[in-house]
Structure 1
Amino acid sequence: MKKTYYLFNPGQLSRKDNTLKFTPMVEPGNPVAAPRYLPVEGIEDLYVFGSLDANSALYNFLGQSNIAVHFFDYYENYTGSFMPRDQLLSGRMLMAQTSHYTDKVKRQTIARNFIDGASFNILKNLKYYHNRDKDMAEIIEKIETLRLSIANTSAIDQLMGIEGNIRMTYYDAFNLIVNDFSMGNRTKQPPQNEVNALISFGNMMCYSQCLRAIHQTQLNPVISYLHTPGERRYSLALDLAEIFKPLLVDRVIFKVLNKKAIQEKHFDRQLNRCLLNPSGKKIFVQAFEERLNETIKHRKLNRNVSYKHLVKLECYKLSKHLLDIEEYKPFKMWW
């Protein structure tokens, strides 16, 4: 089974026969540790959090080996990805995606499904903790009321407004779920406290997972339905991430904080900014990977599938909807 590798240290990445050679470095030509060799057959993708020295020959090799590379800057912002050549390009799918975007009714239907799935999974999280002596009754009631208006929307702006209100209400529950940290207001770019830092970091990890899953299907990642397609962003990955953030990101945040795997010492505070430090990132990434690799018994497939594979299955379901094969129903947690 292929794995994801995370490069936290700056270093040099090169090809060594049929393996990748990573040498940690403080500055070019000054290695600080022995090289590590990674067989390409076992690599799904690479996440790069430190500066990386590599050349075009290396990226040619990565492309031939179908290995994606995702880049993040010092402030944990996702900056871009190197993707292997599109091997599943389909003119028919591109036409179908475009027609469903330009048709307001069809676009609204898909966008409603994304918010319906996301809000349902949010409620699942809240009910999980409500059944474990956390009083979520008032918050659950508010979100259930907001969910009732999803089906009556006729414009994307209305949907985004409902989604925003659901998220704001949901984030109020974080103060009840998390033991030793305060959520406060949701702050991004930059996050102002520890919980916000984890949300921002986790959401980027989820976005990258969705982007990789899209790339492994015939879908085009720049044509989206809930988020407006824009310059220099893969907005369809943002759409799909809405469904999976409660399952993949939020549950990991609750786990690492309540089990004290991540503590105050794992954050760096700067002027108007709070970020995970390298040791904190490693702990979160490990917990996130464990979550991705957990399996459940799929009700339709009648076999165990990982949470990571659920993202790809969502892409297949959307593809069938766009090609008028089967109506799209968003993933909803049933356990």
Structure 2
Amino acid sequence: MEPVKKAYYITQMGTLERKGNTLFFVNENGKRPIPINSTSEVHCFRPVSLTSGAIKLLSEKNVPVHFYNKYGYYRGSYMPVEGQVSGTVVIKQAGHYLDSVKRLHIARQFVEGIKASMVAFLKSQRASYESIADIPVEGSTPAELMGVESNLWREFYGVYSTLLKYFEFNERNRKPPRDEVNAMISYGNSVLYGVVLSEIRKTYLHPAISFLHEPLERRYSLALDIADIFKPVTVFRIILRLVNRRQLREEHFERDIGVMLTREGLKVFLSELNGELGKKVLHPRFRRKVSIRYLIRLEGYSLVKHFLGDDNYKSLRAWW
């Protein structure tokens, strides 16, 4: 059975410390215990310090901690020593990266998965999806497939903007985001990246060996590859819901050189995203319900089987 664990989000400055076998978040407002045994990872959206005792406990429980800046951009992680390690899988994974034909197959599957998720989401909203469905996923190099992905996102953003009732969304901008929708996209994409990274660590995959994105990037680029498949049906779904139901309004944002969520707005946003990742959907092959978070891990397992020659990798085709 799928283990029931949830992400823990910190939206205030403070310190993570250990007392006995319990992890606490401590700041001027007091001390709060964190249920370490049922926590998949910790996400920190304000400066948080870790004591040596907290690091030891996090390592024992194999719980990573991800850090973001005030605009929601990923800054880095504390990663415990890998609990799932297989030299065989890593060697095979690297071999598939070094073989241009094998790498291209996996990269194309990632883009096919992204396209399918966009179409599934737009269908669920009864929105036009033909302009996306008509884009062929073709390319002789990963760079060309990245160009196809860019075209898919351009078309998706254009349709998505027509679904939003209360905020304008004219283009994707970042570092820092210049409007409310771009701010939410940045937070959502970063959190999803952290979740995917946490789930990859539970497989035998190496998160730095990627196939669509170049692995020379500063992040764990396999997490970028996999996260893109899930963005339309998680991040963009909850943004649309929060905006159109007026759960997030103008007062939930603040501005300096860019736009960011207030602490209250961030709590609403993270709660909705966490709920979406925990939502259970019927898996068409297993014929049982699993969470979307677990689907992310299953994507990693599918890659492992592919590298070992046990199956031919086909990326997730979203259906919900």
TM-score, normalised with respect to structure 1: 0.92
Which residue is equivalent to 1:303? 288
Instruction: Please tell me the residue identity of whatever aligns with 2:205.
Output: L
3-state DSSP class of the match of 2:82?
Answer: coil
Equivalent residues of 1:19, 1:37 under 8 A apart = yes
The equivalent of 1:14 in structure 2 is 17
Deviation at 1:50, TM superposition (A): 1.5
Secondary structure of 2:213's counterpart equals: coil
Inter-partner Cα distance in structure 2 for 1:162 and 1:39: 43
Q: Which residue of 1 aligns with 2:191?
A: 205
**Per-residue deviation, 1:252:** 0.7
Give the alignment's TM-score, normalised by structure 2. Answer: 0.96
**Kept in 2: contact 1:18–1:39 (CA 8 A):** no
One-letter amino acid of the structure 1 residue matched with residue 311 of structure 2? E
Which of 222, 225, 229 is 1:243 aligned to?
Answer: 229
Shift of 1:52: 1.5
Residue type of the partner of 2:224?
L
Residue aligning to 1:225: 211
**1:245-284 deviations in Å (ceiling 9; x for gaps):** 011111011111111111111111223x111111111101
Residues 101, 225 of structure 1: 8 Å contact kept: yes
Moved more, 305-314 or 86-95: 86-95
Amino acid corresponding to residue 43 of structure 2 in structure 1 = Y
What CA deviation, in whole Å up to 9, does each residue of 1:273-310 have, x standing for no partner? 11111111110100001101110111211211011100
2:231 aligns to what SS in structure 1?
helix
Structure 2 partner of 1:129: 125
Aligned to 1:111: 107
Highest relative contact order (Cα 8 Å, sep 6+), 1 or 2?
2
Among 141, 151, 155, the residue aligned to 1:169: 155
- Quick one: percent identity of the two aligned structures? 37
**Alpha-carbon distance in structure 2 between the residues aligned to 1:113 and 1:231:** 20
Q: How far apart are the structure 2 equivalents of 1:40 and 1:59?
A: 12
Question: Cα distance 1:231–1:158, how it changes in 2: closer, same or farther (>3 A)?
Answer: closer
Match for 1:260 among 236, 241, 246?
246
SS at match of 1:85: coil
Structure 1 residue runs of 4 or more that deviate by more than 4 Å after TM superposition: none
Q: Does the 8 A contact of 1:111 with 1:225 survive in 2?
A: yes
Structure-2 residue corresponding to 1:99: 95
SS in 1 for 2:234: helix
Q: What's the secondary structure of 2:125's corresponding residue?
A: helix
User: Is residue 2:164 matched to residue 1:182?
Assistant: no
Q: CA deviation at 1:113?
A: 0.2
User: Which stretch of the first structure deviates more once superposed, 120-129 or 232-241?
Assistant: 120-129
Residue 130 of structure 2 corresponds to which residue in structure 1?
A: 141
Distance 1:22 1:205 in 2: 20
Q: In terms of Rg, which structure is larger?
A: 1
**Aligned AA for 2:56?**
N
- From 85, 90, 95, the equivalent of 1:89 is 85
Whether 1:278 and 2:263 are equivalent positions in the alignment is yes
Q: Could you list the per-position Cα deviations for residues 137-194 of structure 1 after superposition, in whole angstroms to 9, with x for gaps in the alignment?
A: xxx2221221x2x1x4211121111110110111011221110111111101111111
Q: 2:311 aligns with which of 321, 326, 334?
A: 326
What is the alpha-carbon distance in structure 2 between the residues aligned to residue 195 and residue 39 of structure 1?
32
| Structure 1 position 231, deviation (Å) | 4.7
The one-letter code matched in structure 2 to 1:162 is V
Q: Distance in 2 between matches of 1:39 and 1:333?
A: 32
User: Does 180-189 or 218-227 show the bigger shift?
Assistant: 180-189
C-alpha displacement of 1:13: 1.6
Question: Is 1:23 aligned with 2:19?
Answer: no
- Native 8 Å contact 2:18 2:51 kept in 1: no
* SS of equivalent residue, structure 2 residue 273: helix
Q: Kindly indicate whether the alpha-carbon contact (under 8 Å) linking 1:178 and 1:257 is maintained by their aligned counterparts in 2.
A: yes
Separation in structure 2 between the aligned mates of residue 198 and residue 74 of structure 1, nearest angstrom: 12
RMSD over aligned Cα atoms: 1.3
Give ranges in structure 1 of 5+ residues lacking alignment. Answer: 25-30
Whether the 8 Å CA contact 1:298–1:305 is kept in 2: the answer is yes
Give the Cα–Cα distance (whole angstroms) in 2 for the partners of residues 316 and 42 of structure 1.
Answer: 22
Match for 1:67: what amino acid?
V
Q: In the comparison of the two structures, how many residue pairs are matched?
A: 317
